[in-house]
């Protein structure tokens, strides 16, 4: 059957930075796609006295005043599919990695969970299942279920004390250069072989920092299951505004097909800045900190799209790690406090911890995860129960005793335990720990094995115990990852394993002999 495509042609009247005003388009809606040239497109963001206001995207330099602008009364859609894996795309989902065009390719599995509202005209798609609308409606309550599976980041501090569930939104917040991006990339690297699709969305970061991330992902063989959506600092403002929605939409395709998706937005402060700049150019009234009034809506409509689908909708999930920059540790800033209120917890990165060498510099006093601990491995939950409190108490004690030369035996013992805990949490970036390794490390900490070791010995232990177990105790590792819980038998075996490890090194640990 032949379909008739209606088209309306207008004229570009004015261009200001990456904003254009178009006359002659009478039937337009917000969020609609406008064709401006072969490589440039626009998205409708407002109307003013008979003119349509659009943000320009793509090859903005091709667009000239007086050119034609074409509207097909279609919502802004992008192609989605398996073909995007391993590719770098811009906010229009066009490839920018020089590897040629992308064939979206549908997954072999039929789409099971596409909610019905995709088809509806305003928020929905153009009808083709291979194109999704960028501003798609978030899944409704009835399509979701509570989080039930743990999302393994591989960062010991996070997995033990601030556990994340699949479908959760966890804000990463901190000053400049505190290791925020590293937490996100560590989590991506850790998804290797875990059947999770990762999306790294770069917004307003420098081109060189984007290249570094891509190189890192390539080196760690993580790019093959990752999509990079890039709107770096030199991209048009409109692309920076659209990029997180594009990343989310590319992820939704996989989520609809019952897969798990993980998205890092790096970072939403720059996203808000880009939107503020465009709004001020549009002469919209500035509000608090000169942001437009709808900046809260900007981020909340994005955050709502994370979640865990119910089994009838394919059980797919989408986990978000939005990153936000603070100025001098001020979490009460407008954008940070907005995002704190719309996420399920935050990981707070602290500059002074980072400078003191405690890396990842996660401030355990201010970081929370509101939903993740229900889905943690029972073994990790049991072993890490009081860990966070112990660490916070140690920090307080450290402050009080800093200038005192003589402290009691008990206090110095607690300080020693605290030092061990600090060393226990310290972890290099790009070296994620699998959960079995975390159980073993936690077990050794709980058995107070680490307290009798020197600094270099703890380092040696953390580095080598997992390799040793893989070689000598593979069955125990299998049991730990299978049961996810500690039985009396596995405890006995863990003791035996620790004794064997230290015996090989010529050390005897009291209280462990079995």
Which stretches of the chain bind ligand ATP, using CB under 6 A? 174, 176-182, 359-360, 427-429
Annotated active-site residue in 370, 446, 447, 491: 370
Q: Does 181 bind Mg ion (CB under 5 A)?
A: yes
Binding partner of residue 367 among ligand ATP, Mg ion, none, CB cut-off 5 to 8 Å per kind: none
Nearer to Mg ion, 199 or 420 (CB): 199
| CA–CA distance, 107 with 477 (Å, rounded to integer) | 33
Classify strands 8-16 and 131-133 as parallel, antiparallel or unpaired.
Answer: unpaired
Q: Are 42 and 71 in contact (CB under 8 A)?
A: no
If contact means CB under 5 to 8 A according to the sort of partner, which of ligand ATP, Mg ion, none does residue 359 touch?
A: ligand ATP
Which of positions 109-138 make contact with Mg ion (CB under 5 A)? none
Give the CA diameter of the chain.
89
Write down the least CB distance from residue 243 to Mg ion, Å. 15
Burial class (CB in 10 A: 0-12, 13-18, 19+), 281: middle
If 0-12 CB within 10 Å is exposed, 13-18 middle and 19+ buried, where does residue 192 land? middle
Give the footprint of Mg ion on residues 151-180 (CB under 5 A): 180
Sign of the Cα torsion 413, 415, 418, 423 reads negative
Q: Which two tokens stand for residue 412?
A: 């110095």
Give yes or no for a contact between 246 and 229, defined as CB atoms under 8 angstroms apart. Answer: yes
Residue 178 contact, options Mg ion, ligand ATP, none, Cβ 5-8 Å cut-off depending on partner type: ligand ATP
> What's the min distance (Å) between Cβ of 196 and Mg ion?
21
Peptide bond into 404 cis (omega under 30): no
Find the shortest distance in angstroms from Cβ 431 to ligand ATP: 8
User: Whole-number minimum distance, CB 396 to ligand ATP, in Å?
Assistant: 24
Verify binding: residue 32, Mg ion, rule CB under 5 A.
no
Could you give the dihedral angle defined by the CA atoms of residues 214, 218, 224 and 225, in that order, rounded to the nearest 10 degrees? -60
Contacts of 241 (CB under 8 A, 6+ apart): 55, 271, 274, 275, 278
Q: Toward ligand ATP, which CB reaches closer, 89 or 187? A: 187
Contact residues for 235 (Cβ-Cβ < 8 A; gap 6+): 90, 91, 243
Q: How far is the CB of 266 from Mg ion (least distance, A)?
A: 6
Distance CA 11, CA 195 (A): 48
Shortest distance (Å) from residue 183 CB to Mg ion: 9
Buried b (16+ CB within 10 A) or exposed e, 101-132: ebebeeeeeeeebbbebbeeeeebbbeebbbb
CB under 5 to 8 A by kind: which of ligand ATP, Mg ion, none does 276 bind?
A: none
Q: Does the active-site annotation cover 370?
A: yes
The least distance separating ligand ATP from the CB of residue 452, rounded to whole angstroms, comes to 26
Q: How far is the CB of 298 from Mg ion (least distance, A)?
A: 21
Q: Which is nearer to ligand ATP, 349 or 477 (CB)?
A: 349
Q: Taking a C-beta distance cutoff of 8 angstroms, is the pair 138, 297 a contact? A: no
Based on CB atoms, which residue is closest to ligand ATP, 135 or 425?
A: 425
Nearer to ligand ATP, 320 or 473 (CB): 320
Residue with smallest beta-carbon separation from Mg ion: 181
- Tell me the angle at which helices 435-446 and 455-472 cross, rounded to the nearest 10 degrees: 130
Residue number, 122 or 177, with CB nearest to ligand ATP: 177
Restricting to residues 382-441, name those near Mg ion by CB under 5 A. Answer: none
Residues in contact with 88: Cβ distance below 8 Å, sequence separation at least 6, in sequence order: 95, 96, 97, 214, 227, 228, 230
Chain centroid to CA 348: 14
Minimum Å gap between C-beta 296 and Mg ion is 23
Kindly tell me the burial class for residue 221, based on how many C-beta atoms sit within 10 Å of its own C-beta (0-12, 13-18, 19 or more): exposed
185 contacts Mg ion (rule: CB under 5 A): no
Euclidean distance between CA atoms 278 and 280, whole angstroms: 5
Q: Which segments of 320-386 does DSSP mark as H helices, in order?
A: 334-342, 351-355, 378-383
**β-strand pairing of 317-325 with 171-174:** parallel
Radius of gyration of the chain (CA): 26
Please identify, using beta-carbon distances, which residue of 179 and 314 lies nearer to ligand ATP: 179
Instruction: List the single partner that 65 binds among Mg ion, ligand ATP, none, CB under 5 to 8 Å by kind.
Output: none
Closer CB to ligand ATP, 225 or 348, in the complex: 348
Q: How far apart are the first and last CA of the chain?
A: 78
Residue 177 binding partner per list Mg ion, ligand ATP, none, with a CB distance cut-off of 5 to 8 Å that depends on partner kind: ligand ATP
Residue count, binding to Mg ion (CB under 5 A): 2
Closest to ligand ATP by CB, 133 or 174: 174
Which spans of this chain sit near Mg ion (rule: CB under 5 A)?
A: 180-181
Q: List, by residue number, the catalytic residues.
A: 370
């Amino acid at each position: 059957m032949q379909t008739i495509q209606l088209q309306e042609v207008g004229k570009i009247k004015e261009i200001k930075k990456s904003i254009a005003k178009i006359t002659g388009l009478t039937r337009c809606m917000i969020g609609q796609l406008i064709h401006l040239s072969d490589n440039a497109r626009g998205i409708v963001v407002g109307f003013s006295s008979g003119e349509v206001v659009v943000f320009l995207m793509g090859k903005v330099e091709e667009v000239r005043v007086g050119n034609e602008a074409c509207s097909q009364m279609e919502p802004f859609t992008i192609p989605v599919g398996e073909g995007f894996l391993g590719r770098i795309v811009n906010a229009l989902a066009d490839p920018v990695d020089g590897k040629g065009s992308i064939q979206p390719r549908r997954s072999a599995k039929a789409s099971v969970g596409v909610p019905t509202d995709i088809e509806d005209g305003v928020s929905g798609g153009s009808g083709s299942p291979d194109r999704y609308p960028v501003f798609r409606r978030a899944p409704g309550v009835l399509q979701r279920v509570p989080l039930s599976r743990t999302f393994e980041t591989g960062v010991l501090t996070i997995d033990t004390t601030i556990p994340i569930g699949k479908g959760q939104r966890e804000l990463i917040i901190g000053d400049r250069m505190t290791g925020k991006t590293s937490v996100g990339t560590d989590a991506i690297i850790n998804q290797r072989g875990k059947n999770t699709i990762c999306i790294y969305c770069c917004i307003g970061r420098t081109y060189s920092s984007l290249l570094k991330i891509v190189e890192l992902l390539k080196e760690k063989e993580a790019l093959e299951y990752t999509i990079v959506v890039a709107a770096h600092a030199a991209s048009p403002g409109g692309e920076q505004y659209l990029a997180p929605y594009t990343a989310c939409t590319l992820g939704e395709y996989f989520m609809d097909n019952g897969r798990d998706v993980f998205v890092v937005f790096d970072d939403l402060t720059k996203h808000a800045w880009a939107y503020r700049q465009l709004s001020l150019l549009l002469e919209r009234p500035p509000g608090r900190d000169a942001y437009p009034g709808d900046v809260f809506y900007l981020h909340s409509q994005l955050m709502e799209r994370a979640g865990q689908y119910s089994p009838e909708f394919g059980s797919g999930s989408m986990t978000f790690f939005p990153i936000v920059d603070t100025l001098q540790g001020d979490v009460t800033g407008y954008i940070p406090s907005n995002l704190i209120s719309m996420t399920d917890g935050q990981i707070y990165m602290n500059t002074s911890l980072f400078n003191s060498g405690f890396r990842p510099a996660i401030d355990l006093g201010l970081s929370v995860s509101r939903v993740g601990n229900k889905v943690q491995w029972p073994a990790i939950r049991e072993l890490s129960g009081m860990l966070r409190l112990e660490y916070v108490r140690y920090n307080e004690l450290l402050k009080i005793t800093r200038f005192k030369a003589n402290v009691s035996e008990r206090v110095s013992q607690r300080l020693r335990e605290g030092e061990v805990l600090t060393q226990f949490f310290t972890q290099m970036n790009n070296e994620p720990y699998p959960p079995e390794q975390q159980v073993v490390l936690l077990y050794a900490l709980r058995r107070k094995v680490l307290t009798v070791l020197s600094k270099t010995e703890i380092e040696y232990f953390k580095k080598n115990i997992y390799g040793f177990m893989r070689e000598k105790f593979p069955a125990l590792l299998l049991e730990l990852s299978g049961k996810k819980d500690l039985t009396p038998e596995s405890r006995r075996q863990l003791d035996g394993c620790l004794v064997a490890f230290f015996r090989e090194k010529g050390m005897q640990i009291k209280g462990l002999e079995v």
